[in-house]
Structure 1
Amino acid sequence: MVSCHLSIFLGFLVCFRSTDGSRFRSSAGSRFGAFRRPQAHDSCNTKRIEMDITRTMSVTYNGVQKTVECVARPSVNECEGVCQSKAEPNVSTFPDLKKDCKCCKEGRLLTRQIVLDECYENGIVLPGLRPSTSITEPADCACFPCRN
């Protein structure tokens, strides 16, 4: 029969058991074995989605300066996924934790021009008006160290 001391540590159910047959000790000289759930693997990806964009802008239409609301639904990149992070006891700087935190985020950014599909003034479509605007999106995504 295996006896162990069950504890929840950082969201993991951990079973501490003595590897030398002695009672559990919290001194630095004791030897413990710990079991925990397997960690997830990194799965951060660049994903293509459609996004609704609305811009209020000042334009010249038929020689008249107007403030209009223009819309588009372009395909853009986003970062989506999970990155492995952990926090574990740091025996050399107790009670601090040794942290390795990673976030799914952009590696590089890309700025590009998109054409707005329709423009409205007071809810009325202005035919033939298709201005452009710039958007910034991730060029690629990966797991990077998080900033606090």
Structure 2
Amino acid sequence: VTRVLQSSIAETFYSAIDRVPQKFNRLRFAVAQIAAPTIAAVVAGFPKMERLQFHTAMLLDTPLPSFVGYFDELTDHSEFEAQERLQKLQGQVVIGSMDIITPKSQSEAICEKWNNCELKVIDGSGHMVILEEPEQISEALDEIISAAAISNHQDLSA
């Protein structure tokens, strides 16, 4: 994906969006009218279709310059730059079992580099697990905060 986003074709596309954003917005909504029902038919087995529809609506509400900025960030971002700092922290990598955007292997790779973490897969959730399953995210945060508090207490006792 990064190679595509860094290509001259992508750069031309980004420049065009900057020059005539309204035209691209109209094109985006026209494509969405065709693509959204097609995607919905393909993922008809998705257990929480209303959440998929919510994601689609949210994406359509996102201004195009935000997408362009996000794509720029994808080309420069490296999760592994934080590796040294993360080694000192306990944590969790939380993913949805039905995430069709980010492969589970990416989360597993992060866990391999971050020795002090646990991979937590939330069944039935998709890519936007934070929005889809806020209760389970709160539980995951509580687990991490509780573990940190216990660790901190043990450090102070020693």
Check whether TM > 0.5: no
| Normalised TM-score (structure 1) | 0.20
Say which structure is richer in helix: 2
Say which structure is richer in strand: 1
| Normalised TM-score (structure 2) | 0.19
- Which protein is bigger by CA-based radius of gyration? 1
